Amino acid sequence: MPLSTASSPRRYPIRIALLAMLALALGVAGKAAAQPSKRVVKEAENTALGRTVLTTNSGKTLYSLSVEKRGKFTCTGACLSTWKPLTVPAGTKPTGPVRLGTVKRPEGKTQVVYKGLPLYSFMGDRRAGEANGEGLKDVGTWHAAKVGTVSPQPAPEPESPYPY
Tell me which residue range forms the domain holding 50. 37-149
Domain presence at residue 13: no
pLDDT grade for 47, boundaries at 50, 70 and 90: confident
CA 140 to chain centre: 20
**What's this model's pTM, rounded to 2 decimal places?**
0.70
CB 104 within 8 A of CB 98: no
Give the rounded percent of residues in the chain with a pLDDT score beyond 90.
63
Q: Strands, DSSP E only, in the chain?
A: 37-39, 42-46, 51-55, 62-65, 83-85, 87-88, 93-95, 100-104, 110-114, 117-118, 120-122, 142-144, 146-149
**Mean confidence (pLDDT) of the chain:** 82
Domain presence at residue 15: no
Domain presence at residue 139: yes
The pLDDT tens digits of the residues spanning 54-73 come to: 999 999 999 999 999 888 99
Domain count, the chain: 1
